[in-house]
Structure 1
């Protein structure tokens, strides 16, 4: 029902000891308990169901893609191509600074997506990954679990907002962002108000960990609860104004900073994504 990568499957040994999954990948010991994977540079994606969650999508990016090939090698993963991002240049009062363009930014090699943000012909080049539907999901569901393995360079003028967005495109239904933040800086999380003004963050956290290191970030959206997980830590809210109740879709936006000047012309750097995975309630 979903695409399961063969990359790094060889040499993978699984055993269960006291309810803890033990995996040895290329001589590296991993422990998983309650869905937490010990962080390291790159890792085998969690291609299994979890208590309370059924896996519906996993992408390990096992097929290489040269610059300009990503949208063809990974159909549906670059559906924002050609659109502008939502930032604003306060100096010139021009909105939508960045151009979503996989052709100018994105390659895949050795199982890792590499998005190089930069400016070309005066326009910042950015990228959004749009996980496509499959037989198991439509990328539009009420409640879910969403994980991504990533790291970024520090690049002034650019940020990530990897979010759940209303399938209706009605912002008043909420927005959940995690991880969010400036490239290379602290990883934050926000869930927007669903009861009044969606520009207000009803739930906000700062992980005090930076994007410069490899991390696994997870959103868990359940009835009456939103949890942000980063590696071995978690933050939860049960406040109703921070918890959407309508269908949401997952988008991994790499974009220019909101409400800021345009990125410096010479600013460039990389966002690396090892794998992504999604679950629906069991």
Structure 2
């Protein structure tokens, strides 16, 4: 896990998962560091049910999200790192977000790890990376500020089953997406780049194709480490 500031960025959150958390105790075991979408909430497709206590655990320095179906309920989770930014939900205005992860190719499930507006207004924009169905490829998206149904999209050609490091760099002048140290895409139009506080959500859910996952579909999404940085903004911005 990267430790310390990097040029232009101040590290303000990190977790190398050195403390085990068994199933049933997340996020209550570390409430100062993690929260999650509430138990029982429905996910974006309405086919999945958020259940962090039954899905999320930490062992051997890995956070594990075990998505599956139990008694016809498709269990998913959306952990939220507590970053304590200036926004009403602790979000930052601009930031750098890095995570090392992999996932089993589990049909019917996807991830959309995203920056979501503290205002809860989609018109403030949205930034998603990594996103994609777990059987597909990793993609990145920026939903335009002011017109979020319009988006910039970037494909990686890489699947989820290998270990990857994904980085979002969000500044007033650009949003950069990097996968394994290589630039996947960049957005430079300041008119569409979000400029309100946004918080980080590791939203892991059922696929959006309208079909429910098969009852036997199950798999693990693993996170090796995660870290976030605030932007040190030069005076000329």
Q: Give the TM-score taking structure 2 as reference length.
A: 0.91
Aligned residues: 228
Identify the residue that residue 6 of structure 2 maps to in structure 1. Answer: 50
Q: Assess, with a 3 A threshold, how the Cα gap between structure 1 residues 135 and 206 changes in structure 2: closer, same or farther.
A: closer
Provide the C-alpha distance between the structure 2 equivalents of 1:247 and 1:70, rounded to a whole number of angstroms. Answer: 26
Task: Choose between structure 1 and 2 for higher RCO, CA contacts under 8 A separated by at least 6 residues.
Answer: 2
Tell me by how many angstroms 1:117 deviates: 0.4
- Structure number with greater Rg is 1
Structure 2 residue aligned with 1:199, among 149, 160, 167? 149
Identify the residue that residue 130 of structure 1 maps to in structure 2. Answer: 80
Q: Is structure 2 residue 221 aligned with structure 1 residue 271?
A: yes
Q: Assess, with a 3 A threshold, how the Cα gap between structure 1 residues 189 and 245 changes in structure 2: closer, same or farther.
A: same
Tell me by how many angstroms 1:210 deviates: 1.1
Q: Assess, with a 3 A threshold, how the Cα gap between structure 1 residues 190 and 213 changes in structure 2: closer, same or farther.
A: same
Identify the residue that residue 25 of structure 2 maps to in structure 1. Answer: 69
Provide the C-alpha distance between the structure 1 equivalents of 2:94 and 2:155, rounded to a whole number of angstroms. Answer: 23
Provide the C-alpha distance between the structure 2 equivalents of 1:47 and 1:268, rounded to a whole number of angstroms. Answer: 33
Identify the residue that residue 182 of structure 1 maps to in structure 2. Answer: 133
Provide the C-alpha distance between the structure 2 equivalents of 1:255 and 1:233, rounded to a whole number of angstroms. Answer: 27
Structure 2 residue aligned with 1:226, among 164, 175, 192? 175
Q: Is structure 2 residue 216 aligned with structure 1 residue 260?
A: no
Flag structure 2 segments of 5+ consecutive residues without an equivalent: 233-237
Identify the residue that residue 44 of structure 2 maps to in structure 1. Answer: 86
Matched residue of 1:213: which SS?
Answer: coil
Provide the C-alpha distance between the structure 2 equivalents of 1:102 and 1:247, rounded to a whole number of angstroms. Answer: 25
Matched residue of 2:34: which SS?
Answer: coil
Deviation string 1:187-217 (CA, Å, 9 cap, x unpaired) is: 1000002132x1221x110011111100110
Q: Is structure 2 residue 68 aligned with structure 1 residue 156?
A: no
Is the contact between residue 84 and residue 91 of structure 2 (CA under 8 Å) also seen in structure 1? no
Provide the C-alpha distance between the structure 2 equivalents of 1:134 and 1:200, rounded to a whole number of angstroms. Answer: 30
Tell me by how many angstroms 1:139 deviates: 3.3
Tell me by how many angstroms 1:123 deviates: 1.3
Tell me by how many angstroms 1:184 deviates: 4.0
Tell me by how many angstroms 1:111 deviates: 0.6
Q: Assess, with a 3 A threshold, how the Cα gap between structure 1 residues 136 and 173 changes in structure 2: closer, same or farther.
A: closer
Q: Assess, with a 3 A threshold, how the Cα gap between structure 1 residues 135 and 63 changes in structure 2: closer, same or farther.
A: farther
Is the contact between residue 157 and residue 260 of structure 1 (CA under 8 Å) also seen in structure 2? no
Deviation string 1:154-203 (CA, Å, 9 cap, x unpaired) is: 0111000010001100001100000000114211000002132x1221x1
Matched residue of 2:92: which SS?
Answer: coil
Provide the C-alpha distance between the structure 2 equivalents of 1:186 and 1:224, rounded to a whole number of angstroms. Answer: 27
